[in-house]
Chain A
Amino acid sequence: MFELFKTFFQIGLFTIGGGYAMIPLIERKVVDEKAWVSEKDLLDLIAVAQSCPGIFAVNISIFIGHKQKGNKGALVSAIGTCLPSFLCILAIALVFQQFRENVWVEHFFRGIRPAVVALIAIPVFRMAKNAKINRYNVWIPFASAFLIWMLGVSPIFVVLVAGVSGYVYGKYLKEDFGS
């Protein structure tokens, strides 16, 4: 049990830059070192964790923890993954609060802000590739971006509508067009 906690704590602590950066580390720890799951199972888990909502790394840790030790294992693994984030961010938040008015810190963050926007724009292209955008569905990302950006529609609502309409379209309409 403690091994689960320790392993996922390390995984949480040593990955910077988001969920997908964690995959190689998870692979080394969980497949090579601990042999908790096989390489093939891990690939399946990654696929499922990607299709589930929520935070990718947490989903993975919950799956593996559950597989090892049931519900308690899932809980311990999830806490292990979240704890480094939680502690680091709180430490930074408490310190940053005092320096926010500092002129140098202000200049520093003014320089950072445009870069952050660029770093958020880049995954759009990567995800567009993975989402198999073609000339029939290319209107979907444009429509959802427009709804959120210009009309202020909640992204949660957009996700909900997209999922439901995908289901309805595939179940009741596609067959008619296909046949």
Chain B
Amino acid sequence: MILLLAQLFWTFFLIGLFGFGGGYAMISMIQSEVVGHYHWMTMGQFTDIVAISQSTPGPIGINSATYVGYTALVNAGYEPYWGVLGSFIATFAVVLPSFILMLLISKFLLKHRNHPSVENVFSVLRPAVVGLLAAAALLLMNSENFSSMSENPWRYCLSIFLFLFAFIAQKVYRLGPILIIVLCGFAGIVLGL
């Protein structure tokens, strides 16, 4: 368990340190480490965690760190109170770099925000983060979240419909994410997804 906690700490410390571009960009990192690298949970479980993180109070980055820390330990077979420790470690680790950086560079950045070197770094970093986010969305479009034509055509088609519905509802009609999540959840119940 010490190893798992240490891995959890290190992973979320790195995510906090390199997590440019806000909560959604961090989700891409969390997904790659937690699902892809360490296999602490399945893509489906991770998607559920993102859904809950989006619909509960607080920043998405903190919410998902807390939830992933808990799930990683419980999935590994430990009791829920160890899950609480996992939550604490992951949350602490993801916030820690903010502190260190704040003490070291906030004054520097405030002064040199428009310095050419800072501009240069972000001139490539910003477009790259857009790709990060796109990759997160693409990786989530798998058979675990959408099913597939051969496995369950009904669920597959409905999933695509709900995806398009959510996309248009948010992008065109500006419905709030929580409302969309709740509507799609009830659609899932009613349609027997």
Contacts and interface: CB of A to CB of B under 8 A. Distances in A.
B132 interface: yes
Q: Which of A13, A59, A132: most chain B Cβ within 10 A?
A: A59
B189 A18 contact: no
Interface in B169-193: 170-171, 176-178, 180-181, 184-189, 191-193
B95 A89 contact: no
A108 B185 contact: yes
Interface in B119-164: 119-141, 145-146, 155, 159-160, 162-164
Interface in B1-30: 14-29
A24 interface: no
B54 to A, nearest CB: 6
Given A93-B71, A109-B185, A162-B124, A12 B58 contact: yes
Contacts of B95: 54-55, 58, 78, 82
A165 B47 contact: no
Given A109-B185, A119-B177, A156 B14 contact: yes
Interface string A116-151: 111111111101101111000110111111111100
Interface string A24-68: 000000000000000000001001101111111111001100100
Contacts, number: 381
A89 B189 CA distance: 23
A97 B74 CA distance: 9
A113 B51 contact: yes
A2 interface: no
Interface residues of B, number: 114
A104 B189 contact: yes
* Majority-rule SS of A interface residues: helix
B172 to A, nearest CB: 11
Contacts of B125: 159, 162-163, 166
Contacts of B61: 19, 54-55, 58
Contacts of B20: 51, 53, 159, 163
Query: Which among B102, B164, B187 has the highest number of chain A CB atoms within 10 Å?
Result: B102
Contacts of B83: 93
Chain A CB within 10 A, most for which of B37, B62, B101, B163? B62
Contact of A117 (B25, B129, B163): B163
Given A55-B94, A130-B126, A109 B48 contact: yes
B32 A18 contact: no
Contact of A155 (B50, B132, B140): B132
Interface of B: 14-29, 32-33, 36-37, 44, 47-48, 50-63, 66-67, 70-71, 74, 80, 83-84, 87-88, 91, 94-95, 97-99, 101-103, 105-106, 109-110, 113, 116-141, 145-146, 155, 159-160, 162-167, 170-171, 176-178, 180-181, 184-189, 191-193
23 contacts: A15-B59, A16-B57, A22-B59, A54-B61, A54-B97, A57-B59, A57-B62, A62-B102, A66-B106, A71-B103, A74-B99, A84-B58, A88-B57, A89-B56, A89-B87, A90-B66, A111-B185, A117-B163, A124-B134, A131-B130, A141-B130, A166-B124, A167-B121
